[in-house]
Structure 1
């Protein structure tokens, strides 16, 4: 049996390598939503689905969807999914691992000619990372029925709107509302993903049970002061926007360090307008990313840091523009499905390690309409969003075995009905 799982893992790994070869650049893996590389990658996955004998279609947001039907037309639907878009200069595994593991599970069911008590749908979400339009979960929000139609007018950096991008992709935005799976039709949702952290790597355990996904608040801040000559404006008379931003950045770090409890704060972008070595910065824009598995600390951090930014602007005589870009509430995974996944992990001979995901996943919007569970797979040093992403073949084989066991238990116990 172990050899069977190794063989299946090797096939998944080969497909991951083939998909990774399709990229917008040669240095890493870049397949952002709607680009020629994205479309070529999606077409490759679609060929694999068709070769397996699975009917496929692309929906109004560009998701690739395959269906394995139960003999019972009134049965509910269990979804296996992850995403196939990437960040810029990404690794090979973040997203595609879950899609291609899902394909392997359905191929195995077809080989076994298993009698299905419910329908399966495998979805390769088109846009989870949100790189091109600065949105997240576009694909899964369509499936969950929570897509905001106003986003169709949002432009990318080149001025191309989401609606125009969809038209170029051959997708029909008019059908987006009809592409949702009604809440009453869901049986559940299962996402397999690399752990984007070092816990499994350090403990040398191949898989983990995701219990919750941290909430996020993303903010764009702009401090505006007065640009001036670096040699002629006295220090006490300056309106230095960069010094204001720097003070805020350090406070954000210190606040998260002191308050802990899973709260993290990150300033990942800093842009100085008209930067020059001999000019006092007059305008600086920076980002703020707050995450916590608990709603209250997340809200408290947001309120405190906004008040602090306003105070910094006041005492440095600069103005502040504070724009909330994204808010996602923390979500808990389905307890019945998690109990079943924990049973599958234990019966496969592995320690059950519960983890909270600090990264966002498509399971977030889905969890508002369906029971959702996630399994993490051990990743080299927990590195992600980086060409160094890697999953060892033995860990992938173990994850396939656990997923197989989980699907078997779902067939026999069906805890969500």
Structure 2
């Protein structure tokens, strides 16, 4: 059942506007020749001002919350000021040397959905819905500056941790100091938290950070869940000795043990369905060309569709590391630095997203259903309300890179699908 009565020309114009604004936001960067926008920076302030201007343009009231997230709100058809809201959005911060679509396209698509669903009248603009419509531009999904992801959405989800105030950036500026420099009051960060009764749910459109849609030749997908994740810092201890004078049978080379462990992570995870393990950092100490490494440190990022499978694979990796280090006369230890459970998209929101995608498929068919191995703000927002997500095709699947891409045609289909999903949810309620 298609509920959205909007001509294709209007949706195509909305998609062109999204693409142009992605280009405009790409010029707001701390670096020349690339894109980098981090939390509580001058660039963060600039994109918030732009987002606020675009929110007001579609008839929303705009405000920046106590954690630096930018929000726009449109009251429902009833005019009820305090009506619960459906939250749409994503994030505007980036990794270093970023692409121009990750997060950003979801915020801009949400604004176009608000434009499509606006009911003009003689008074303030209202959403033709039984609930309010809000668009949110989260301030720090990536965690680039302070090394802690989801700061903005954690504040909204009510899970802010005061231990984070002592986090520092590369220049030694603490999170608390950065708040003050940005014009925010650390003592009021709790005011960003939303109550469950204030929200109907959260819907996010995002480029797929993988190649599945591209391989299938499809534009859009329903997201079933956001992956669980665990991250570890692993230390391998051996013995540093002279490279020339130490025969192989006397070596306790920590770097070789860490290298074998890295290969074991790949072997174990490739044998498992939907478990992804990545060693992104590997360092040897003392790091001299003529010294057998006495210590090696490596990171491990472990992700899975289900918490239990992820944890079972970690136990397999632990056993393999015991065997590797035992053979080589080495010791090892691991410190867990991050743990997040899988977040499953609500069945109702999966259903309305599916209906939205079907509205873009004149020939019918079953939309793709994918789980997200990458993290998203919905992981934090899931603490207070139901979450749903829509993926857009990303040719070649590359992300967090200048080459990430999305087509205007797929953005148009995504806007239609997201607007239709909102209307389907309104009809259900």
TM over 0.5: yes
Deviation at 1:311?
Answer: 4.3
Q: How far apart are residue 247 of structure 1 and its match?
A: 1.2
Which region of structure 1 is more displaced relative to structure 2, 36-45 or 141-150?
A: 36-45
For 1:44 and 1:269, the matched residues in 2 are separated by 36
Report Cα offsets for 1:75-98 as digits up to 9, x if no partner: 212111211111111111000011
Shift, 1:277, TM fit: 2.6
Give the 3-state SS of the residue equivalent to 2:371 in structure 1: strand
1:242 aligns with 2:255: yes
Question: How large is the Cα RMSD of the aligned pairs?
Answer: 1.8
1:9 maps to 15
Q: Kindly provide the CA deviation profile for residues 117-151 of structure 1, in whole angstroms up to 9, marking residues without a partner as x.
A: 11222111111111222212111111111121211
Is 1:62 aligned with 2:68?
Answer: yes
Q: 2 CA distance for matches of 1:228 and 1:386?
A: 40
Equivalent residue, structure 2, for 1:35? 41
Question: 2:195 matched to which residue of 1?
Answer: 182
Larger mean Cα displacement after TM superposition, 343-352 or 164-173: 343-352
User: Are 1:49 and 1:103, in contact at CA under 8 Å, matched by a contact in 2?
Assistant: yes
Match of 2:128 in 1: 115
User: Structure 1 233/328 Cα, relative in aligned 2: closer, same or farther at 3 Å?
Assistant: same
2:293 paired residue number: 281
Indicate how the Cα distance of structure 1 residues 229 and 79 shifts in structure 2: closer, same or farther if over 3 A, else same.
Answer: same
Give distance in 1, aligned partners of 2:296 and 2:284.
5
The aligned counterpart of 1:22 is 28
CA displacement, residues 88-123 of structure 1 (integer Å, 9 cap, x when unaligned): 111110000111111111223336454331122211
Moved more, 342-351 or 99-108: 342-351
Q: Tell me if structure 2 keeps the 8 A contact 1:58–1:171.
A: no
Find out whether 1:195 has 2:208 as its counterpart. Answer: yes
Correspondence for 2:393 among 375, 378, 399: 378
Deviations for 1:268-325, whole angstroms, at most 9, x for unmatched residues?
A: 1112244233222222221101111112111111222234334434443444341111
Deviations 1:191-250 (A, max 9, x none): 000011112112222111001111111111122333332111222222222111111101
Q: 2:345 corresponds to which residue?
A: 333
Q: Deviations over 1:326-368 (max 9, x none)?
A: 1111121010111111112113326411111111111112123
1:335-350 residue pairs with structure 2 within 5 A? Answer: 335-349=347-361
Task: State whether structure 2 residue 109 is matched by structure 1 residue 97.
Answer: no
SS at match of 1:116: coil
Which residue of 257, 264, 269 maps to 1:251? 264
Task: Give the whole-Å Cα distance in 2 for the aligned partners of 1:347 and 1:66.
Answer: 27
Change (3 A) 1:413 1:32: same
| Cα distance in 1 for residues equivalent to 2:320 and 2:263 | 11
**Of 204, 219, 224, which residue of structure 2 is paired with 1:206?**
219
Report if the CA contact (8 A) 1:333-1:372 is conserved. yes
Q: Does 1:411 align with 2:426?
A: yes
Q: 2:371 aligns with which of 356, 371, 375?
A: 356
Structure 2: tracts of 5 or more residues without a match? 1-6, 121-125
Q: Confirm or deny: 8 A CA contact 1:99 1:124 kept in the other structure.
A: yes
Change (3 A) 1:224 1:61: farther
After TM superposition, the score normalised by the length of structure 1 is 0.94
Are residues 1:266 and 2:274 paired? no
1:54 Cα deviation after fit: 2.4
Q: Distance in 2 between matches of 1:85 and 1:310?
A: 40
**Which of 49, 52, 69 lines up with 2:55 in the alignment?**
49
Whole-Å separation in 2 of the counterparts to 1:374 and 1:148: 26
Distance 1:282 1:61, change over 3 A: farther
Q: For 1:59 and 1:120, how far apart are their aligned partners in 2?
A: 16
Alignment partner of 1:73 is 2:81 = yes
3-state secondary structure, aligned to 1:164: helix
Output the CA distance in 2 between the equivalents of 1:39 and 1:317.
53
Secondary structure of 2:419 counterpart: helix
Deviation at 1:74, TM superposition (A): 4.4
Higher mean C-alpha displacement, 130-139 vs 114-123: 114-123
| Greater mean deviation of Cα atoms: 214-223 or 44-53 | 44-53
Structure 1: stretches of 5+ with no match in the other structure: none
Q: 2:228 aligns with which of 190, 215, 219?
A: 215
The equivalences for 1:286-301 within 5 A come to 286-301=298-313
